[in-house]
Amino acid sequence: MKVDLSQDFKNKYRNLMGKRAEKLFEAIQDDSQEAFRLNPLKSNFKNVSYSLNKPIEYSNIGYFGEINGNSIDHLSGYVYSQEPSAMYVTEILEPQTNDKILDLCAAPGSKTTYIASKMASQGLLVSNEINTKRAKVLSSNIERMGITNTVVTNNSPKDFEKKFDQFFDKVLVDAPCSGEGMFRKDPESVKYWSLDYVEQCANRQRHILDSTYKLLKEGGTLVYSTCTFSPEENEQNIDWFLKKYPDMHLVPVKKYSGMEDAKPEWGNDNPELSKALRMFPDQFNGEGHFMCKMIKDGTLTEPKERKINNGLKKDDLQYVQKFAKTNLNSLTENNWLRISDFLYQAASLDHRFKGLHILRNGLKLGEFKKNRFEPDIAWILALKPDVLKTIFELTDEQFEKYLHGESIILSKRPEFNNKWIGLSYQGKLFSWGRYSNQQIKNVYPKGLRR
């Protein structure tokens, strides 16, 4: 599909880039580069049906190639489709297992799920998205990938300022932007572009950066990224931010083949800006991005935590233990939290989250119903296979029927007799099944059926 670039866009980048602008315009007309990541939170995570012959240089779990959203590898959370340039943001952030990290503009979840995969279900990751519809997509992607250490919130950055003053070790701001770097991947976005829109985005990003500064601990790391070429949203914003907050400092970011220094001449000739990086599609095998890493002066300190009540009722523990005794080999009682009729293994019980709009706090284990507990699909997507007493491997035909919402009729009585079993296809857990009378009843969520 031809990308119809406006004359204002062409004039702007001809003025900025001279003759090279024509190469950029040509690259925008090329096909976008497809890529995907593996999920090391899964057992035997390299056991996928996609070729791993084209690894991405700067990611040990990233590969060039296209994936099918209906494949078992995708449905079970073994793979995540992500544009190759965008993968590098998480590598720059360098998540550690004991970090408290905020992904402030997190939807649809590409960077959040990458960050979580490096944290190995430890530490705390807060993934926020101000748009409610996009926040729900973020939450569902986190569920599919079997992530347990993440709180998903639907708030404005200002809401965080009141509660999380100097709380986070690391903050990622993948800022909402004018999207110029994604024109060839999403040609429709060209229709929304204008010189005024670029200015609006730059102004909004400055407000976000202001909030971010307050949330970051002394000694903390801030990574800022956009998927646009615009100097107003990149070099000029970072130059403004560094001047406003003299205790913030850019640190050099390693550049791989095709990556370039950011342009000091586009940011008031601030020489520090060369420590940031740019990716242009005429030189780099991916879409257009800007990325930089900043450190706040000072020493990291651990904030004091006051825990909220877990909300558990008198018989809750008994119901879950009864479920586990019948269907599981082991049960970890860690940070359990009851919200309404649902039980979570909470990523955090910190009182600071009270009052925020939370879509998901850690791992949703299941729901309390009349005198019983029923497990949620999020739990099976996060469980290791050896925790389950029974795993039933579906045939091709059974798998297709189950995805359509049909139950599985067994020709003979199976060896197992527990009610709740793990369903697997091609060796990958993807759903619970409820067994009764030689029939595995379908409990696959209706929103996931096809």
> Among 146, 115, 151, 217, which residue's Cα sits nearest to residue 356?
151
Annotated binding residue at 414?
no
75 with 42: CB under 8 angstroms? no
Question: Residue 112 and residue 119: Cα distance in Å, rounded?
Answer: 11
Q: How far is CA 114 from the centre of its chain?
A: 6
Annotated binding residue at 111?
yes
Annotated binding residue at 107?
yes
Annotation says 227 is catalytic: yes
Q: Which of 177, 201, 227, 292 is catalytic?
A: 227
Positive/negative CA dihedral, 165, 166, 172, 173: positive
Annotated binding residue at 109?
yes
Neighbours of 90 (CB within 10 A): 28
Three-class secondary structure assignment of the chain: CCCCCCHHHHHHHHHHHCCHHHHHHHHHCCCCCCEEEECCCCCCCCCCCCCCCCECCCCCCEEECCCCCCCHHHHCCCEEECCHHHHHHHHHHCCCCCCEEEECCCCCCHHHHHHHHHHCCCCEEEEECCCHHHHHHHHHHHHHCCCCCEEEECCCHHHHHCCCCCCEEEEEEECCCCCHHHCCCCHHHHHHCCHHHHHHHHHHHHHHHHHHHHHEEEEEEEEEEECCCCHHHCHHHHHHHHHHCCCEEEECCCCCCCCEECCHHHCCCCHHHHHCEEECCCCCCCCCEEEEEEEECCCCCCCCCCECCCCCCCCHHHHHHHHHHHHECCCCCCCEEEECCEEEECCCCEHHHCCCCEEEECEEEEEEECCEEEECHHHHHHCCHHHECCEEECCHHHHHHHHCCCCEECCCCCCCCCCEEEEEECCEEEEEEEEECCEEEECCCHHHCC
Question: Residue 317 and residue 372: Cα distance in Å, rounded?
Answer: 11
Annotated binding residue at 232?
no
Annotated binding residue at 246?
no
Q: Which residues are catalytic?
A: 227
Binding-site residue ranges: 105-111, 129, 174
Binding-site residue ranges for S-adenosyl-L-methionine: 105-111, 129, 174
